[in-house]
A and B are shown apart, each in its own frame.
Chain A
Amino acid sequence: EVQLLDSGGGLVQPGGSLRLSCVASGFTFSSYAMNWVRQAPGKGLEWVSGISGSGDSTYYADSVKGRFSISRDNSKNTVSLQMNSLRAEDTALYYCAKRAAEGIYLMGSLNYWGQGTLVIVSS
């Protein structure tokens, strides 16, 4: 059974940093691109960042480029999102999500999602 367990959210002041983690199980982790998608309270879904199965390729939404960094450790089946210079508008529930199709491409439909971890940026 595929499982994604998100963690690391919390309350942080504007300008602060936070590191989110997602531990995966139930599939060959290194074969799949992973993504972070966020959802502000009462709002829709916003894709944030993605990383290839090997970790060689990453990409970011313009709204977080230069502030967030995605990485993965295939030996620990973990993908992380380092978030720096946080702003009030980054307040959201952050989901890690697995690309449905195996392979080298980053983009794709997302067939498994974590339960989400809540990030609140406020003074």
Chain B
Amino acid sequence: EIVLTQSPGTLSLSPGDRTTLSCRASQSVIGNYLAWYQQKPGQAPRLLIYSASSRAAGIPDRFSGSGSGTDFTLTISRLEPEDFAVYYCQQYGTSPQTFGQGTRLEIK
């Protein structure tokens, strides 16, 4: 199965900062079928990005995704207070679909 490694494990930043989260796959992600999710405490995950770079419905344009092959990134251009959460990547190009271990974004 494809292993997704997210880095860093934790990021401490301030509102207004720009940040980039990394997701590296153990082998190429077919079709660049990679998604990003945001999860806040006590809530279900929320889809942000699919197909590596397409924003899901209702997602603010400060969130953007990029990458291909084995290296993908999620960029948040200007952090809002509500963006502090855990972020997961998911690949769905090869069975079984798999998730990364998550990156925690915390307020500095």
- A residues with CB within 8 A of B: 37, 44-47, 50, 59, 61-62, 95, 100, 106-111, 113-116
Contact = CB atoms under 8 A, between A and B. Distances in A.
Contacts of A114: 44
Tell me which of B47, B56, B57 has the highest count of chain A C-beta atoms within 10 A of its own C-beta.
Answer: B47
Interface of B: 1, 33, 35, 37, 39, 44-47, 50-51, 56-57, 88, 90, 92-93, 95-102
Contact of A113 (B45, B57, B88, B90): B45
A111 B1 CA distance: 23
A45 B50 contact: no
A111 B96 contact: no
8 contacts: A37-B45, A37-B99, A45-B39, A47-B90, A47-B99, A100-B47, A113-B46, A115-B44
Contacts of A50: 97
B56 A100 contact: yes
Given A106-B95, A109-B47, 19 more contacts: A45-B37, A45-B39, A45-B90, A59-B96, A62-B1, A95-B45, A107-B33, A107-B92, A107-B93, A107-B97, A108-B33, A108-B92, A109-B50, A109-B56, A109-B92, A110-B35, A110-B45, A110-B90, A113-B46
Closest 9 CB pairs of A and B: A113-B44, A109-B50, A109-B35, A107-B92, A45-B99, A111-B47, A44-B102, A107-B97, A44-B101
